[in-house]
A and B are shown apart, each in its own frame.
Chain A
Amino acid sequence: MAQTTAHRRLLGEYKALSTNPPEGITAGPVSEDDMFVWEALIQGPEGTPFEGGIFPAELKFPRDYPLAPPKMTFLGEIFHPNVYTNGVVCISILHPPGDDPNQYEHASERWSPIQSVEKILISVMSMLAEPNDESPANIEAAKMWRENRADYEQRVRDGVRRMLGL
């Protein structure tokens, strides 16, 4: 019974994601020896240049989860205004309410213990569809997205195919 709140909750979320997975999302711990490191696959939302792509990401949970949010990193190349070139995802739901490096986000959009892995991944999916122009993490991508949408979409599509080994 030496399970902590974090451990129990992650296990519960794992189960819920396995039995009732949301469309286009697969997520679970890399190994159950360490419930605090997960990997997730996100399908590119349809009707966007990311359509048809599969994007792997790693989620690292703090020991005091769910008080603090996990950290999410895309594991492959992904060209998106809100993803740093090293793969770190910059999205308001992953920022604790006290921490607002960009001053743009409303507190209501940020992390709260009631959020969950599923909600994070769904938010990231919608972020792929609609980049947040206000707080770019990848300046080049943001600039291209704003000024040269066709090139941006082509580059994203190429990345999607490379990712699938085609």
Chain B
Amino acid sequence: MNNDGFDSVADSTDWLATPLSGLSAVEAALRCQICKDFYRTPMLTSCNHTFCSLCIRRALSADGKCPLCRAGEQEMKLRSNWSMEEVVAAFTQTRSAVLDFARKPPPALPTRTDTPKRKTDDLVMDDGDEQPSSSSQQRSSKRLRSSARLSKTRGIETTAEMARQEAHVPDPEPTPVEPDDGLVACPICWRRMKAVQVDRHIDTSCPGEPQPAPTPPAQLLRSSSSKPTSLTSVFAPSSTISSNNKPQPPPDRLPALNYSMLRETQLRKELVEQGLSTSGNRGMLERRHREWVMIWNANCDSQRPRRRAELLHDLDVWERTLGSRAPTGSRAANTGAQIRDKDFDGAAWAAKHDTSFKDLIANARRTRAQAQVTTPDEGDGKESSVNETINISDDETKTVKPTVEKVSDTLGLLDTERIVGVSVGDPPTIIQLEEGKESEPVPI
């Protein structure tokens, strides 16, 4: 845990100390307001706000309202915001390079103010004696070009090395070029990125198979020499990847279950069908299933859905932090802040239903007592009024008896086994036990 990507705690304040402080607002706009990370599978709500798919699904399951404007919202109404995803992908890719550039002290060269791109290219051209490539070829490789731009400030020796790399670019049969630009290749898709980004990339945006397309300088070169517009396609490599991947049909979404209507056995069956663990009490099963549905459906929104195993890994992380294997000590300390949190734990449920069940017992006693009132012995003078109530009470007792049992049965569904055992098992016993003592209606 000492160095688990603390460097990756990039946020918009990174820009504030640089001359490009205006980019702080740009970056803030590309981050989800809930997780404060860059948008992952951004979704548009019907009130036109954007959040990560998983974030908004979690927030909606807890509250049912848009976190920004608190307008009512439903998961069904969410729509993908793919343009935002592309913007984020493009920005995150250039971010570290731009940040590095911005953090360097301003160079003494007076070339900075006017058309730096052109100047940079010229500079490289000048430095690299053996530079055989045309300027269009240079433009074709964005990464190398931006590195070249950086090299201007780094010093002559790196500039020369960059020039040497540039020399490799136009090679029609590129041997695996390993530019010494501090980047490493993703072991799966071979895309190049900073070492610290690899983990996150594999988790989030890796297409999952070797991509011959992403870094094929030769192929890009060919197209770039013919089409001037290819510049943009080079700047958005992620979109080309996604289009490669599109034929894959999106997985089916899971429907949300109404847990209060499911028996525990059905819920267990449901979990087994999904290949999930069935450990823990009923509350835990519900929460696990809910979390899985959210992870799964959020993945369905993605342009590049991840594999099931990765989703299971996500659920495992959840299990360790919030689920059955969560550390209990701090959880107890935090209950105060979770008064109305939807994820009640078992004890809270039990306490809650305990009172409502007492209500039901009291109801039952009451009807019992009312039934006794109808017996003629207690008539003393109020015959007529009592008789009036008899009809009602008779109907009532007939309907109430089964109802009480049934209602407590549904409560039992939501409840812990203990209370079910008491309530459904033998409601008549309770009433009979109390029969002698209860002569008056019990006030509820």
User: Which residues in A have some Cβ–Cβ distance to B below 8 Å?
Assistant: 1-9, 11-13, 15-16, 19-20, 34, 36-37, 60-64, 66-71, 94, 96-99, 107-108, 112-114, 116
Contacts and interface: CB of A to CB of B under 8 A. Distances in A.
Contacts of B5: 1, 3
Interface string B294-328: 00000000000000000000000110111000100
Sort chain B's interface into a size bin.
Answer: 35 or more
A99 B13 contact: no
B59 to A, nearest CB: 5
Contacts of B339: 96, 99
Kindly name the residue among A5, A9, A15 whose own CB sees the greatest number of chain B CB atoms within 10 A: A5
B373 interface: no
Contact of B34 (A20, A61, A66, A69): A66
B337 A62 contact: yes
B203 interface: yes
B338 interface: yes
Contacts of B9: 8, 11-12, 15
7 contacts: A1-B5, A4-B322, A13-B36, A37-B330, A61-B334, A68-B337, A99-B339
**Sorted from nearest, which 3 A-B pairs have the closest CB atoms?**
A99-B340, A98-B340, A71-B337
B263 interface: no
Interface of B: 4-6, 9, 11-14, 16-17, 33-37, 54-55, 58-59, 62-63, 65, 67-68, 70, 199-200, 203, 317-318, 320-322, 326, 330-331, 333-334, 336-341, 343
A19 B334 contact: no
A34 B36 contact: no
A109 B210 CA distance: 49
A16 B11 contact: yes
Nearest to B203: A1
Given A2-B317, A13-B36, A112 B338 contact: no
A5 B35 CA distance: 6
A19 B12 CA distance: 10
Contact of A1 (B34, B62, B65, B200): B200
B322 A67 contact: no
A3 B337 contact: no
Contacts of A70: 337
B11 A15 contact: yes
A60 B320 CA distance: 19
Given A63-B334, A96-B340, A114 B63 contact: no
